[in-house]
Amino acid sequence: MNPTSPPASGAPPRLQLAGITKRYPSVVANDGISLTVQPGEVHAVLGENGAGKSTLMKIIYGAVKPDEGHMHFDGKPVQVRNPQEARALGIAMVFQHFSLFDTLTVAENVWLGLDKSLQLAEVARRITATAAQYGLDVDPARPVYTLSVGEMQRVEIIRALLTDPKLLILDEPTSVLTPQAVEKLFVVLRKLASEGCSILYISHKLHEIRALCTACTVVRAGRVTGVCDPREESNASLSRLMIGAEPPALAHRESSAGATVLRTQALSLPRVDQFGVDLYDIDLEVRAGEVVGIAGISGNGQKELLYALSGEDTRAASGMVQIGGQNAARLGPRQRRALGLHFVPEERLGRGAVPSMGLAHNLLLTRGDAVGPGGWLRMRQLQAQARGIIERFQVKAGGPDAAAKSLSGGNLQKFIVGREIGARPRLFIVSQPTWGVDVGAAAQIRGALLEMRDAGCAVLVVSEELDELFEISDRLYVLAKGRLSPSVPRAEATVARIGEWMSGLWHADVQAHLAQQEVDHAQA
């Protein structure tokens, strides 16, 4: 079946929801939602952070029980009480926050969700075959704790594909994939749809929804506010449906960079484990009043470089890492914060925030301005700070005491970014700043980064979103196979050029560019 064609005559809908309602103490996550998905349809669910999309998907998958409403699957009424029953029906889900065991291998994690009569070696063989078929490169023998976020996402997608689903739910599946990997994934999804698999697709990337999906349900504040064909909409019209307005345009003016705040000189580090990436002669410079972007495909040394910069890895030789002109190579995170460095990691839960702790107490992970003499906490000040972040960044949460794990991914990201920005750093390093964040919030975060730059902060952004890097960066580097390219001004960077550099092919390009500059100079 062609994914754009209507379902076969007389075939019942693959999924039908009627009046789905889910209440929590502080919010009504889903309020009488109805939704219909046809066989072979790629159906988007669009809404801003906290609109109730992920809760609805978890209800379909049996991970959350609705308070009211009915669900039909292939024309039959069903009550999905747990994910095991969902998988038995043919429903598979790739969560935005991954459900993988760090200490197990890729193959062992995938095996947990499959028929236990299969041998582990057979599961590993199927993973390799599926990865090759769909261009999702992953090694079945690798422990999950050695994977980057992008690689973990590939594991989740492969695990879902191996169940031969009738309905595949994808929650922000491309949030940390490169444009090339996204195109490969879309080929996979179109092929699945043509074979009759229905796909529920959650994404904040409006251009992806328009390119891939054949139907779209818009959710705002837990209610369905519209149904449309995204192929007939523009990014602006979809944005208006989702948040009621178009996101504000970024005011990006040319920077006037000052003194060097961060410098690495010939930073070389061997991998910590056999599945890591060695870093080779990393020469990086970030100056006050500029945004520097680092592009690259996940798993090319980003994790290792960020550990070395944040102070979580202190193996670098003296002088290899300098902050504000001071040798910081052997300093830990707390000592680097004293020099003005604040850092947002890509892993929100467990590294950027303690899941079970309230938002106010999560401020204490990196900020001590509400800690009094003797370690006593000034709770009023702490809660006021948390409320200030919630208000400024429009975080949807049940207040300063809401547990970090109770927030949607995008809202938690806004809070963590706000926490670090509020510390007024001299050097701000952020990894995947708008991963899983809606268009309005993404514009707000990017705008805040530019405001920091204009106030004299040195900003380093590591992102797999090329559009994001082109939008906010003054200079760009590319990280490939543990090596860092020369920097290129944003005005001289193109998607094609950066895409080539992501494969490590910058040496010939740089030489050709220098030769052309010499020719231009001679002619002048």
pLDDT tens digits, 470-491? 999 999 999 999 999 999 999 9
Is residue 524 very low, low, confident or very high in pLDDT (cuts 50, 70, 90)? low
- Count Cβ atoms below 10 Å from residue 396 Cβ, excluding itself: 20
**CB 220 within 8 Å of CB 242:** yes
Say if pTM beats, i.e. exceeds, 0.95: no
CATH superfamily of 15-243: P-loop containing nucleotide triphosphate hydrolases (3.40.50.300)
Q: Cα–Cα–Cα angle for 494, 499, 502, nearest 5°? A: 130
User: Domains of the chain: which residue ranges?
Assistant: 15-243, 260-340+425-523, 351-424
Cα–Cα distances in angstroms (integers) from residue 83 to residues 59, 64, 195, 371, in the given order: 10, 9, 24, 43
Q: What is the pLDDT of residue 416?
A: 96
Question: Residue 182, by phi and psi: left (phi above 0), alpha (psi -120 to 50) or beta?
Answer: alpha
Give the residue-averaged pLDDT of 172-188: 75
Is residue 298 very low, low, confident or very high in pLDDT (cuts 50, 70, 90)? confident
CB-neighbour burial class of residue 373 (10 A; exposed 0-12, middle 13-18, buried 19+): exposed
Residues sharing a CB contact under 8 Å with residue 110, sequence separation 6 or more, in sequence order: 123, 127, 140, 155, 158, 159, 162
Q: For residues 390 and 451, what is the distance between their CA atoms, to the nearest angstrom?
A: 18
Is residue 507 very low, low, confident or very high in pLDDT (cuts 50, 70, 90)? confident
Q: What is the pLDDT of residue 281?
A: 97
* Residue 187: DSSP 8-state: H
Q: What CATH number should be reported for the domain whose range is 260-340+425-523?
A: 3.40.50.300
CATH fold match for the domains 15-243 and 260-340+425-523: yes
Q: What is the pLDDT of residue 4?
A: 38
pLDDT at 85 > cutoff 70? yes
**pLDDT tens sequence across 229-285:** 999 998 888 888 887 766 666 766 777 889 999 999 999 999 998 888 999 999 999
Size of the chain in residues: 524
pLDDT at 306 > cutoff 70? yes
Q: For residues 203 and 201, what is the distance between their CA atoms, to the nearest angstrom?
A: 6
Q: What is the pLDDT of residue 443?
A: 86
Q: What is the pLDDT of residue 206?
A: 87
Cα–Cα distances in angstroms (integers) from residue 137 to residues 121, 144, 150, 245, in the given order: 18, 14, 11, 39
Q: For residues 476 and 467, what is the distance between their CA atoms, to the nearest angstrom?
A: 12
Question: Token pair 């196979």 is at which residue?
Answer: 481
Long-range contacts of 281-287 (CB under 8 A, 24+ apart): 281/483, 282/483, 282/484, 283/484, 284/477, 284/484, 285/260, 285/487, 286/260, 286/261, 286/262, 286/427, 286/458, 286/459, 286/460, 287/257, 287/258, 287/259, 287/260, 287/261, 287/458
Q: What is the pLDDT of residue 2?
A: 37
Q: What is the pLDDT of residue 73?
A: 97
Give the DSSP H/E element, type plus range, for residue 440: helix 439-454
pLDDT at 286 > cutoff 50? yes
> What value does the mean pLDDT of the chain take?
89
Radius of gyration for the alpha carbons in the chain, expressed in angstroms and rounded: 24
Helix (H, G, I), strand (E, B) or coil at 237: helix
pLDDT at 1 > cutoff 50? no
Closest residue by Cα to residue 363 from 311, 401, 329, 396: 401
Q: What is the pLDDT of residue 496?
A: 84
